[in-house]
Amino acid sequence: MAKKTPPTPSLSRRPPAAAWNRVNRSQLAALLGVHPETVTAFLRAGMPVEVQGTRGKESVYDAPLCLDWWRHHHASASAKEVAQTRSYEATAKLNELKLKQQQGELLKRDVVITQGRAYTVGWAGQVRSIARRARQSGIIATPAAEAALADLCRQILTDISSWTTPAAALAAEEAA
């Protein structure tokens, strides 16, 4: 047994619009500030029509209903509204960052840099001491091997210290 789908309400079942609400294509185009052919394109895109026209008989449109459809589908925000929206979004992001900082989820940049430098100095010292510790523990037997390992450690630290963020690399390229 096939499922019956409920009938979709049609515009013809709506109560008739007041006389002043009923407009033809040219009048609706004037209300919307567009060419009458654009109204036809809107109709193909789904704009409601009260009475579909036939050859020799114009279509009749419910002006308030069509204006609502147009606002929903084609109206764009004014420059002032766009600017206000951007301002509200920026304020909201700033407040979210402040809240995360207060909750301890976000640290200030200078704190991260200071702690990162201290950590880096600590492990760099550990890397520099690898060759000496390897010689003392007997892993390396000769002073030449110790010097070679120390040189390798210095090269690794040099490579690590030359790393930059993509933003810093871009800034350096632009400055050159």
Give the CATH number for residue 45.
1.10.10.10
pLDDT at 11: 47
Residues 68 and 25 both lie in one domain: yes
pLDDT, one tens digit per residue, over 97-143 is 899 888 888 888 888 889 988 998 899 999 999 999 999 999 999 99
pLDDT at 81: 75
Domain end among 73, 90, 121: 73
Run of H or E including 151: helix 143-161
- Alpha carbon distance 172, 166 (integer Å): 10
- pLDDT at residue 161 above 90? no
Domain end among 30, 56, 73: 73
- pLDDT at residue 153 above 90? yes
The structural domain count of the chain equals 2
Q: Residue 40 falls within a domain, yes or no?
A: yes
Mean pLDDT, the chain, rounded, equals 84
Q: Residue 69 falls within a domain, yes or no?
A: yes
CA atoms within 13 A on the CB side of 106: 10
Residues 112 and 63 both lie in one domain: no
Residues 115 and 171 both lie in one domain: yes
pLDDT, one tens digit per residue, over 51-109 is 888 888 899 999 999 998 888 877 666 677 778 888 989 999 999 989 988 888 888 88
- pLDDT at residue 8 above 70? no
Domain with 126, as residue range(s), is 107-175
Question: What residues are paired with 51 via a beta bridge?
Answer: 60
Q: Residue 125 falls within a domain, yes or no?
A: yes
* Phi, psi angles (nearest 5°) of residue 23: -135, 160
- Alpha carbon distance 144, 115 (integer Å): 36
